[in-house]
């Protein structure tokens, strides 16, 4: 495992699944053409619509969207983290929000169901109750790949540092944070939370976010980022469709952990 290029993709999904997949495919192709070996898509990149329609939009895994993503990974010979899709088969009337990882051969090699659900009411700014239509997962997931061990998280998970420490304890040197992070909360907290999770766990963070207006009456923040293990911002987008590239150097993780051995000094662990 050596130095490689990674890319985080920013887009704005709608309820038109075919158009969303076409946009994702175009941006993945752009990332691969520029040398990315690992590409990460945002949360709910393939469909985003009204809460009451989520059950109808959900798919099985494997299913049409994961087959499409597997084909992309195989076509471009990349590792692809397919942000998240809505997965059917949860409790009655509920779906899972699931992130899937594909190998360069197009195989599904890992999947993670979002553990923390965004139930928040900020008066006159954001009101979201994901638990109305979604069920939480219950298991942290890391995926062993030729590029290193990738830990999986999704959006609101970012506010729960204990998950990230578990992922690192299980070997993660890269953590993905596909998101549809809202503009009000993003402006206040997105970059500082990302940098904090990277700094305290001494990992690379790839955080592709959605942007623009949503079906829920608020806007997403954009500002897709890649953060290094020292907390340095290696790349950032603002608004609009974008591909954020960064160089991932596994030796950098080793060096940071050796020179600032916080993980070895941690004492309040189970």
Convert 55-86 to b/e letters by CB count within 10 Å (16 or more is b).
eebbbebeeebbebbbebbbebebbbbbbbbb
Task: Select which of 94, 100, 114, 236 is catalytic.
Answer: 114
43 is catalytic: yes
What backbone torsions phi and psi does residue 159 show, to the nearest 5 degrees? -85, 5
155 is catalytic: yes
Cis peptide bond upstream of 62, omega within 30: yes
Residue 258 CA to residue 263 CA, distance in Å, equals: 9
Task: Select which of 59, 87, 130, 155 is catalytic.
Answer: 155
Task: Select which of 43, 54, 59, 87 is catalytic.
Answer: 43
114 is catalytic: yes
Cβ atoms within 10 Å, residue 173: 24
Catalytic residue IDs = 43, 114, 155
């Amino acid at each position: 495992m050596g130095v490689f290029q990674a890319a985080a993709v920013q887009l704005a999904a709608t309820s038109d699944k075919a158009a969303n997949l076409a946009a994702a495919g175009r941006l993945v192709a752009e990332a691969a053409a520029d040398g990315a070996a690992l590409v990460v898509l945002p949360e709910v990149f393939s469909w985003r619509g009204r809460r009451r329609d989520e059950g109808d939009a959900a798919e099985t895994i494997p299913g049409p969207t994961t087959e499409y993503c597997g084909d992309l990974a195989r076509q471009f010979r990349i590792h692809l983290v397919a942000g998240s899709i809505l997965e059917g088969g949860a409790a009655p009337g509920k779906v899972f929000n699931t992130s899937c990882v594909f190998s360069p051969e197009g195989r599904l090699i890992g999947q993670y169901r979002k553990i923390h659900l965004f139930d928040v009411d900020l008066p006159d700014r954001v009101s979201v109750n994901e638990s109305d239509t979604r069920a939480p997962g219950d298991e942290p997931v890391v995926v062993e790949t030729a590029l290193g061990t990738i830990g999986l998280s999704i959006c609101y998970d970012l506010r729960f540092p204990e998950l990230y420490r578990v992922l690192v304890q299980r070997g993660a040197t890269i953590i993905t944070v596909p998101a549809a992070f809202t503009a009000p909360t993003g402006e206040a907290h997105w970059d500082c939370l990302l940098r904090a999770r990277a700094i305290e766990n001494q990992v690379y963070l790839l955080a592709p976010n959605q942007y623009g207006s949503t079906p829920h009456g608020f806007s997403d923040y954009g500002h897709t980022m890649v953060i290094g293990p020292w907390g340095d911002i290696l790349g950032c987008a603002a608004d609009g469709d974008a591909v954020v590239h960064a160089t991932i150097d596994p030796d950098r993780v080793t060096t940071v952990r050796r020179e600032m051995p916080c993980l070895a000094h941690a004492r309040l662990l189970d």
